[in-house]
Amino acid sequence: MARLKPTFVCQACGAVTSRWAGKCEACGAWNAIVEEAVAAPLPGGASSTAARALGRGRVVVLEGLSGATDEAPRLVAGLGELDRVTGGGFVHGSALLLGGEPGIGKSTLLLQGSAALARAGHRVVYVSGEEAAAQVRLRAQRLGLADAPVALAAETNVEDILATLKDGPPPRLVIIDSIQTLWTSQVEAAPGTVTQVRAAAQAMIRYAKTTGACVILVGHVTKDGQIAGPRVVEHMVDAVLSFEGDSGRDFRILRAQKNRFGPTDEIGVFAMTGDGLEQVTNPSALFLGDREPDAPGAAVLAGLEGSRPILVEIQALVVPSTLGTPRRAVVGWDNARLAMVLAVLEARCGVRLGGHDVHLAVAGGLRIQEPAADLAVAAALVSSLTGAALPVDAVFFGEIGLTGAVRPVSHPGPRLREAARLGFKRGVLPAAAADAAQGTDVSIVAIPTLDVLVARLAARADAAHASRQGA
């Protein structure tokens, strides 16, 4: 047994130092360093430890790249929105981390997924470290899942869990809710500390790799959205999914942050109801649900999340500022991207916003990452500034360059087809994408440079103003 020596571990980033310090040198976090006794190195299975103790390694078989290449077999949950995000089901022998804020619905999602798989005849073991078995059972009853043959345990000790899994028929899917509650007697540190979380995750991942079961680890996230515990767990697993949404609203978005076996830009949309999570197969209708057609400052973006087009409203509010430095507040989009659009509006189109506060929000709480939102953002900003609403039947997309050019974005066809499906009649988009509307009844307004859009919106505002004066 290696000698136990006191080690100091940063609970934010996992960096190890030999002395305590108030600030972590590696990540800059304050008061995050905690003393943990670490027995180095972690044992890796009985035979290999024995071999290593003797100073000898075990010979491993080297393989070529051109071996049998079966497509990774997958476990399809039958919940379409979940399977879409995993890339078509859980891969056998893989480990997956599901992160999310407390109360967002991680346990509910996994309980529903487990029940669906168990009903399909797969052996599923659900290990709850947070709730007692009775609580989980009660929830299952409320969700109408009590008849699903899920094997349930309330346990937090890794050795006990592994012994239970090895006893009885081998499971196809194991759920650990949550990784922060697990502890292994192999390391001497409190549950929830970096050392424990890392060692427990390592043991569960090794179980997945050696038995071919799929292991899902639930991880809590901290206030700033990081999965609590060491980042190394994120590196150790094959896929990291995050479950998001604000608790004030009903719908939840499942997003892949990392996936060794599938795409990372797909999202799954769910709504939390009294009967658990419901899949939302038509998210555009949901995100456009409470639109006010005549309100200035709102533009509909024909966006794309992964392979799926999603229409969502971008809302801007531009008001004269009383502050020395005007406010720039963004919800659901990128601050730096907004600054760029404002700079281009100012420098290339003569729209002065330096004396105005700007608030920008993506309606419904969706978080948008693609630059295709630029044109919709610019339209919403100008519309709010002039006070004239945008045409109610128009969608916008296009990337804005620093020169003011409106550049094409990927997949204009699917974006416009989704718009047509929801009754939109006009597409305001980059000139280069003008022929994408073929086969739909959407008419195209091609915008080569941003000043063209600004001129059109200004003319529209003047016309609206004149008609109000005339009336």
Amino acid at position 217, single letter? L
Question: Which 295-314 residues touch ligand TYD, going by CB under 6 A?
Answer: none
- Tell me if 276 contacts ligand TYD by CB under 6 A: yes
From the list 43-51, 234-242, 270-278, 297-305, the region that binds ligand TYD by CB under 6 A is: 270-278
Q: Minimum CB separation from ligand TYD for residue 131, in Å?
A: 8
Instruction: Give backbone dihedrals phi and psi of 296, rounded to 5 degrees, phi first.
Output: -70, 150
- Tell me if 275 contacts ligand TYD by CB under 6 A: yes
Q: Compare residues 210 and 247 and give the one whose CB is closer to Mg ion.
A: 247
- Tell me if 248 contacts ligand TYD by CB under 6 A: no
Q: Minimum CB separation from ligand TYD for residue 443, in Å?
A: 43
Question: Which 75-114 residues touch ligand TYD, going by CB under 6 A?
Answer: 100, 102-108
**Binder among 10, 79, 256, 272 for ligand TYD (CB under 6 A):** 272
Q: Minimum CB separation from Mg ion for residue 252, in Å?
A: 13
| Direct distance between the N- and C-terminal alpha carbons of the chain, in angstroms, rounded to an integer | 90
Q: Which residue has the tokens 């892949």?
A: 256
Q: For 119-142, what is the HEC assignment?
A: HCCCCEEEEECCCCHHHHHHHHHH
107 annotated ligand binder: yes
**Binder among 52, 92, 137, 139 for ligand TYD (CB under 6 A):** 139
- Tell me if 219 contacts ligand TYD by CB under 6 A: no
Q: Is 55 helix (H, G, I), strand (E, B) or coil?
A: coil
100 annotated ligand binder: yes
Q: Minimum CB separation from ligand TYD for residue 274, in Å?
A: 6
Q: Minimum CB separation from Mg ion for residue 175, in Å?
A: 11
- Tell me if 55 contacts ligand TYD by CB under 6 A: no
33 annotated ligand binder: no
Binding map of ligand TYD across residues 140-169, x = CB under 6 A, - = no contact: ---x--------------------------
102 annotated ligand binder: yes
Q: Compare residues 107 and 211 and give the one whose CB is closer to Mg ion.
A: 107
Q: Which long-range contacts (CB under 8 A, 24 or more apart) does 400-403 make?
A: 400/340, 400/341, 400/344, 400/371, 400/374, 400/375, 400/450, 401/344, 402/340, 402/343, 402/344, 403/348, 403/449
* Cβ proximity of 330 and 342 under 8 Å: no
Q: Compare residues 243 and 287 and give the one whose CB is closer to ligand TYD.
A: 243
**Binder among 22, 57, 274, 423 for ligand TYD (CB under 6 A):** 274
Q: In the 8-state DSSP scheme, what is residue 416?
A: H
Between CA 414 and CA 433 the distance in angstroms is: 12
Between CA 409 and CA 420 the distance in angstroms is: 18
Binding map of Mg ion across residues 93-112, x = CB under 5 A, - = no contact: --------------x-----
Instruction: Give backbone dihedrals phi and psi of 203, rounded to 5 degrees, phi first.
Output: -65, -40
41 annotated ligand binder: no
DSSP letter string over 65-127? Answer: TTS--PPPPEE--S-HHHHHHHTSSEETT-EEEEEE-TTSSHHHHHHHHHHHHHHTT--EEEE
Q: Give the Cα-Cα-Cα angle 440, 437, 449 (nearest 5 degrees).
A: 145
Q: Which residue has the tokens 């947070």?
A: 130
Q: Compare residues 107 and 440 and give the one whose CB is closer to Mg ion.
A: 107
Judged by CB under 6 A, the number of residues near ligand TYD is 14
Q: Minimum CB separation from Mg ion for residue 372, in Å?
A: 35
89 annotated ligand binder: no
Q: In the 8-state DSSP scheme, what is residue 213?
A: -
Residues that bind ligand TYD (CB under 6 A): 100, 102-108, 139, 143, 272, 274-276
**Residues lying near Mg ion in the complex (CB under 5 A):** 107
Known binding residues for ATP are: 100-107
